[in-house]
Amino acid sequence: MNNYFNDFATALLVTSALVIKFFARSAERHGHVEAVSYFVDIYPKLAILGRLSVWGMIITGMVRLFSFQEFEWAEAVGRGQEGLLVFKYFLLFAALVVGGYFWWQLLRKVGQLKELVSRGGTNSTISPERNRS
Q: What is the pLDDT of residue 87?
A: 92
> Does residue 59 belong to any structural domain of this protein?
yes
Helix, strand, coil content of the chain in percent (nearest 5): 90, 0, 10
128 lies in some domain: no
pTM for this entry? 0.66
Tally of structural domains, the chain = 1
Q: Which pLDDT does position 120 carry in this prediction? A: 67
Give the per-residue pLDDT at 17. 83
Confirm whether 90 is domain-assigned. yes
Residue 87, φ and ψ in degrees, nearest 5: -65, -40
Query: What is the residue range of 16's domain?
Result: 2-121
In a domain, 50, yes or no: yes
pLDDT at 2: 67
pLDDT, tens digit only, all 133 positions of the chain:
667 787 888 888 888 888 888 888 888 787 777 888 888 888 888 888 888 888 988 888 888 888 877 777 887 888 888 888 889 889 888 888 888 888 888 888 888 888 877 876 444 555 544 444 4
In a domain, 133, yes or no: no
Q: Residue 99 in contact with residue 13, Cβ under 8 Å?
A: yes
- Tell me which amino acid residue 61 is: G
In a domain, 127, yes or no: no
